[in-house]
Each structure stands twice: as structure tokens, then as C-alpha cells.
């Protein structure tokens, strides 16, 4: 990373408040004031999951731009086919959040060829739940047989304990991967790698737009034909523990097709903590700014 990268990233994050969607409303006399918020159409989704995305609440002056921004934030949850926020045209009013829920549980057929090789087919199935228990929890479990088989499980909860804005993500995977390096298999037959990985990440959301997270994970890699140079460790088995931390700022109006706001993340990971032969740092940054051109 060059000398200008860090200052530039810092400058973007410090100045990002200028892009946050605040949309101050017209507070002239007679402008409606929000006295309550009603949610309808949510047969499965908890009311609190919807309300925590609103940027306008009880006591605020009704602002059409702010209402549209909140509407798009709720849609960005990925739980609804349609979201509409409306209010009766009176001086003191109730916001009505009307949603139409999606189908949350569905099978995921998995079929194809490894690296477009028609001789190496894979096939399997997964099951995905995008709104487990109605609290926007994501669950996936699946497996693949044939070329490069794998099996895995992943779970995420954006609001653990229903307070404190804590989140949790965890996953566990098994993979068997055929070696692709001609150099690694020189002097002997081809081989495959067996991977076992697991991770746990805990996050904390600050307000509507910021999130900080910390994670820990474990990786086990073993080669079927143990020869020098095929793993970092001389015995043909690599074991490593990694930790990471990151920060995110997200003020996009619509996650799928944003037209305003910004999205930025920075993270730092250390692989090879405590034991094992792996020892490296990985730094990453992602910055996106969305502005309407016309």
C-alpha cells in the first residue's frame, strides 16, 4: 500500500458524513408530525426488525425524502417483495409501513462442471432460510458430490439477544480440492487437498450506518500425497488460527441498486496466531460512493 492510500481512506471516512442521508424536512407551521408508526403485512418478520431500519420516528416532522430513504432501507433487508410507507394528510399522523413478504425457505440445486471440464461434473443440493424465526437470521446447509466435493453450514444473526445491536456469524466447511499446480505435482502423481475451516464473527452496530466486528477462525489443510513443498509445514498438514477486525460505514439508500450514499469497509487479519507455520497479515479496503449523474 503506497503512502497516500491510508490518508485517502481516512479522508473519505471522515468526510462521509456529508453523504449521509439526513434529508431535513420542512418544519414550517402545519407540517405533519409523526405520532406513531404502524406495521402491516409482516406475517413472519418481527416488527422490530422493520422498525430498527427507520430513519424517521415519533416526534419527527414528516419528510417525504426521509420516508423514501427509510422505505429503501427496509427493502434492502432482502426480506420483502414490496415496501411502502404512507401517511394520512393530517397535522398529526401515523406512518403506515406496509410490506409484502418473500418466500423465505427454498432448495438450492447445485450442478455443473469443475473449471468447464465436461469430464468433471459436480452435483448436490442446499437448503436456504433467509428469515429464520422471523428475525432476519440466515441459515444455509448443503453438500456437493463429484468433482471437488464439499459440505458446509453457515448461520448469521444480525441482532443477537434482541438488544445492544450485536450480530453473530458462524460457518463450518469441508472441501476436497484437486491440485492444479504442475510445479507442486512434479516428480509424482497428482494429489488432492482436504480442507476443514470454521469461523465465528461478532459485530456491533453503532446507530444506523456503522458497524465494527471481530472474528476468529481455524483452518486445517492436508494433502493426500505428503511430499516436501506441498504444504507450509513439512509434514503435509497445515493448521492455523486467524483473527481479524474490521469497520464498516454504509449509508446507501438501496443495497441492491444504490443511487446515493456510500459504502466503505476496512479490515485487518492475522493468520498464524499461537501455533502453526503460517504467519501473515492481510489488509483490505473497499470504498464506493454513489451519486446521481442526472
Segment 190-243, tens digit of pLDDT: 899 999 999 999 999 999 999 999 999 999 999 998 888 888 888 889 999 999
- Count of CB atoms within 10 A of residue 123's CB? 14
Segment 57-90, tens digit of pLDDT: 999 998 899 999 999 999 999 999 999 999 877 6
Segment 129-179, tens digit of pLDDT: 999 999 999 999 999 999 999 999 999 999 998 888 999 999 999 999 998
Query: What residue ranges in 63-163 does DSSP mark as E strands?
Result: 80-86, 92-101, 105-113, 121-132, 137-146, 150-160
Q: How far apart are CA 73 and CA 71, in angstroms?
A: 5
Q: How far apart are CA 72 and CA 83, in angstroms?
A: 8
Amino acid at each position: 500500500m503506497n503512502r497516500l492510500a491510508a490518508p485517502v481512506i481516512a479522508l473519505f471516512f471522515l468526510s462521509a458524513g456529508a453523504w449521509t442521508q439526513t434529508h431535513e424536512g420542512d418544519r414550517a407551521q402545519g407540517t405533519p408530525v409523526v405520532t406513531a408508526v404502524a406495521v402491516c403485512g409482516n406475517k413472519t418478520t418481527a416488527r422490530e426488525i422493520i422498525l430498527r431500519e427507520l430513519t424517521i420516528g415519533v416526534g419527527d416532522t414528516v419528510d417525504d425524502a426521509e420516508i423514501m430513504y427509510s422505505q429503501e432501507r427496509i427493502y434492502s433487508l432482502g426480506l420483502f417483495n414490496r415496501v411502502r410507507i404512507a401517511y394520512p394528510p393530517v397535522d398529526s399522523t401515523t406512518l403506515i409501513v406496509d410490506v409484502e413478504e418473500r418466500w423465505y425457505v427454498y432448495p438450492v440445486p447445485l450442478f455443473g462442471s469443475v473449471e468447464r471440464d465436461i469430464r468433471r461434473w459436480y452435483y448436490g443440493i442446499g437448503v436456504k432460510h433467509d428469515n429464520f424465526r422471523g428475525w432476519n437470521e440466515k441459515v444455509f446447509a448443503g453438500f456437493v458430490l463429484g468433482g471437488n466435493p464439499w459440505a458446509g453450514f453457515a448461520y448469521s444473526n444480525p441482532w443477537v439477544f434482541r438488544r445492544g445491536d450485536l450480530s453473530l456469524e458462524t460457518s463450518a466447511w469441508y472441501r476436497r480440492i484437486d491440485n492444479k499446480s504442475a510445479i507442486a505435482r512434479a516428480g509424482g502423481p497428482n494429489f488432492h487437498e482436504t480442507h476443514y475451516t470454521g469461523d465465528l464473527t461478532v459485530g456491533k452496530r453503532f446507530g444506523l450506518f456503522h458497524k465494527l466486528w471481530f472474528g476468529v477462525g481455524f483452518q486445517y489443510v492436508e494433502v493426500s500425497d505428503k511430499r516436501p513443498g506441498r504444504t507450509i509445514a513439512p509434514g503435509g498438514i497445515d493448521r492455523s488460527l486467524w483473527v481479524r477486525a474490521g469497520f464498516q460505514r454504509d449509508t446507501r439508500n438501496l443495497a441492491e441498486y444504490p443511487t446515493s450514499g456510500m459504502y466503505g469497509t476496512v479490515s485487518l487479519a492475522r493468520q498464524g496466531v499461537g501455533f502453526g507455520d503460517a504467519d501473515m497479515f492481510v489488509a483490505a479496503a473497499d470504498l464506493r460512493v454513489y451519486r446521481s449523474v442526472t
